[in-house]
Amino acid sequence: GQQVMQIPQYQHVQEGEDFTTYCNSSTTLSNIQWYKQRPGGHPVFLIQLVKSGEVKKQKRLTFQFGEAKKNSSLHITATQTTDVGTYFCAGRGTSYGKLTFGQGTILTVHP
């Protein structure tokens, strides 16, 4: 079945440093979504990428979808303590089936 791998599992940064998490799928995806989960909270949808090579920005967050539609990344510029949480990617197969989540990257930001 479809597998989605996400790295790193943990990332500790100083406030102001950049952060990147990477997502790789074993199969070609129709789209990929990103979610953020604050400590003790529930996942919240951030964005969806659909097109090959697509890049989208939300303030300090930049999302990319690979040319082959098998990988994606989330980059945060100049992290803030409010960025703390777990970031998940979730890929949907080409048959518009179920979403498969990556393991998540837990981001800790030290002030």
Partner 1 sequence: DAGITQSPRHKVTETGTPVTLRCHQTENHRYMYWYRQDPGHGLRLIHYSYGVKDTDKGEVSDGYSVSRSKTEDFLLTLESATSSQTSVYFCAISDTSGRAGAGELFFGEGSRLTVL
**Is 33 a residue that touches partner 1 (CB under 8 A)?**
yes
> Does residue 9 contact residue 23 with C-beta atoms inside 8 Å?
no
**Is 26 a residue that touches partner 1 (CB under 8 A)?**
no
**Is 59 a residue that touches partner 1 (CB under 8 A)?**
no
Q: Which residues pair with 48 in a beta bridge?
A: 33
**Is 71 a residue that touches partner 1 (CB under 8 A)?**
no
Task: Specify the stretch interacting with partner 1 by CB under 8 A; choose among 12-20, 56-64, 67-75, 85-93.
Answer: 85-93
Tokens of 55: 């890049």
For residues 29 and 96, what is the distance between their CA atoms, to the nearest angstrom?
A: 9
Task: Specify the stretch interacting with partner 1 by CB under 8 A; choose among 13-21, 55-63, 65-73, 98-106.
Answer: 98-106
Residue with tokens 């989605």: 4
**Is 48 a residue that touches partner 1 (CB under 8 A)?**
yes
**Is 39 a residue that touches partner 1 (CB under 8 A)?**
no
Pairing of strands 99-101, 61-65: unpaired
Residues in binding contact with partner 1, number by CB under 8 A: 25
**Is 11 a residue that touches partner 1 (CB under 8 A)?**
no
CB contact burial 78-95 (16+ within 10 A = b; e otherwise): ebeeebbbbbbbbbbbee
Applying CB under 8 A, the residues found at the interface with partner 1 are 1, 6, 9, 30-31, 33, 35, 41-45, 48, 88, 90, 92, 96-104
